[in-house]
Amino acid sequence: MCLMRFIGPMHARKPNRSMLISLLLALTLLNSACLKTRAQLKEDSSSDDVSKPVPAKVQDVQPQGQYIIDEIKSELTRLTGRIEDLERNDKQQAANGSIIGKEEVKKLETRIAELEQAQAAILESIKKAEAASAADPSELFDRGKQQFEAGNHEGAIESFTAYLKGPKQKPSAESATFMRAEAYYQLKQYKKAIVDYSKFPEKFTTSKKMPVALLKIGQSFDALGMRDDAKSFYQELIEKFPKSQEAKKARSKLK
């Protein structure tokens, strides 16, 4: 069951001009990871490779960002031409005291300024993505850890995502995945947190962080109002780690 079940359908379509700025901002936040139910987590527990991270905004921004840049350039060209036409007509109507053209020119100039700002923002996102791709993996992990410990959860997520992506096996994949999950949890992005925490019952099955991951999955589902799914994880935690502190918290959740 994809996250779309909880956040509504998102159909890919060419953005109209009135929605261009809002679509641009949405693209930089878009994440294609799926939120799985308890049954689906069990079905997938034996599949997937540790090296395949959850797709994140750093991966999405380049192809979709370039498309929006092309749209912005086209819109800028159209608006510039419109301004030239208005100024030409305004000169012809100046004898009649017309100011309609001037008022519309002012609106168009404001719109051009907004589009130029949007273009600069997405170019900066692409630049950051390219820089992250070129960075040394160990440096990315260290940076993410420092950002996480400093409470910079947004920065930590970006660094860990860059570290985890790519085909090669990452020696600190477990720690990076857990800290990214914790960062999402702290930001109350529970759907994304569940995706990362679920890597533990799926892949990192011998991890010492397993009890915490199971508890946090349950708490995240609780925060989303999905009580039945939350109970399932609390029960699994109690069965597998009955003496843990996390199991004690889980028992209190089931009362």
Helix (H) / strand (E) containing 63: helix 57-93
Residue 21's CB is within 10 A of a number of other CB atoms, namely 18
> At a CB cut-off of 8 Å and minimum separation 6, what does 204 contact?
50, 174, 177, 210, 213
Q: What pLDDT shows up at residue 200?
A: 95
pLDDT along the chain (255 residues), means of 10: 40 42 43 48 44 39 59 81 76 60 77 83 74 71 95 95 79 94 97 96 93 97 95 96 95 91
C-alpha 3/C-alpha 1 separation (Å) is: 7
C-alpha 227/C-alpha 51 separation (Å) is: 31
Residue 103's CB is within 10 A of a number of other CB atoms, namely 12
Q: What pLDDT shows up at residue 152?
A: 96
Q: What pLDDT shows up at residue 99?
A: 55
Q: What pLDDT shows up at residue 156?
A: 95
Predicted TM-score (pTM) of this structure: 0.52
- Asked if residue 75 lies in contact with residue 119, where contact means CB atoms within 8 angstroms, the answer is no
SS (H, E, C) 89-140: HHHHHHHHCCCHHHHHHHHHHHHHHHHHHHHHHHHHHHHHHHHHHHCCHHHH
C-alpha 197/C-alpha 177 separation (Å) is: 8
Q: What pLDDT shows up at residue 68?
A: 73
| CATH (residue range 4-254) | 1.25.40.10
* DSSP-assigned letter for residue 46: T
